[in-house]
Amino acid sequence: TERTLVLVKPDGVERGLIGAIIARIETKGYTVERLELLRATPEQLAAHYAEHEGKPFYPPLVEFMSEGPLVALVASGHGVIQGFRSLAGTTDPTTAAPGTIRGDLGRDWGLNVQKNLVHGSDSEESAAREIAIWFPEG
Ligand code: GTP
Ligand code: MG
């Protein structure tokens, strides 16, 4: 069965939205297979966001992701990669559609577009790579 890596980013943890976000994953019918509250290491963030290295938002993104604990989880189910991206909504919470996690629970933080509550893998390759970063013990 398909798996995806979801992060509840530090803004989601700080705002007390872990339960609300996981509830959306579960009520959609996906299964939470692994779950951990942790502080990201610089190595994990560099690996996770390698594709964005060199972009202007990379330094504030990595700093934000280190500001507090985050939740890493593996969700599974048919079509979960695309399905969770759909649940999450588009990147910018200001314009993310109502009904999505970012659209309903996120809001405008000025320049801080990185504060968008969640991450979800964008392909099978990304999912496999990212699950290995956050759950290296397998
Ligand atoms: P993820 O599920 O987190 O990967 O989001 P995404 O796939 O919708 O966005 P993308 O992979 O393009 O960017 C990764 C993350 O970088 C986003 O979720 C944001 O947190 C942050 N980000 C992306 N674009 C911008 C930007 O233009 N400005 C800022 N400040 N942050 C950005
Ligand atoms: Mg992405």
8 A C-beta contact, residue 66 and residue 45: yes
> Please, what is the Cα angle at 113 between 125 and 19, to 5 degrees?
70
CA-nearest residue, atom 6 of ligand 1: 91
CATH code, domain carrying 23: 3.30.70.141
Average pLDDT over residues 77-105: 97
Q: ipTM of the assembly?
A: 0.91
Is the confidence at residue 33, as pLDDT, over 90? yes
Average pLDDT over residues 29-38: 98
Q: What CA–CA distance (Å, rounded) separates 83 from 75?
A: 11
Amino acid present at 45: L
> Residue 114 has what pLDDT?
84
Domain that holds residue 17: 3-134
8 A C-beta contact, residue 122 and residue 72: no
Is 57 annotated as belonging to a binding site? yes
Mutate to test the pocket of ligand 1, among 5, 6, 57 (most ligand atoms within 8 A of CB): 57
Is the confidence at residue 109, as pLDDT, over 80? no
> Residue 111 has what pLDDT?
66
Our answer on whether the CB atom of 24 is closer than 6 Å to any ligand 1 atom is no
Average pLDDT over residues 72-95: 97
> Residue 38 has what pLDDT?
98
Least confident of 22-26, 37-41, 90-94: 90-94
Number of domain units in the chain? 1
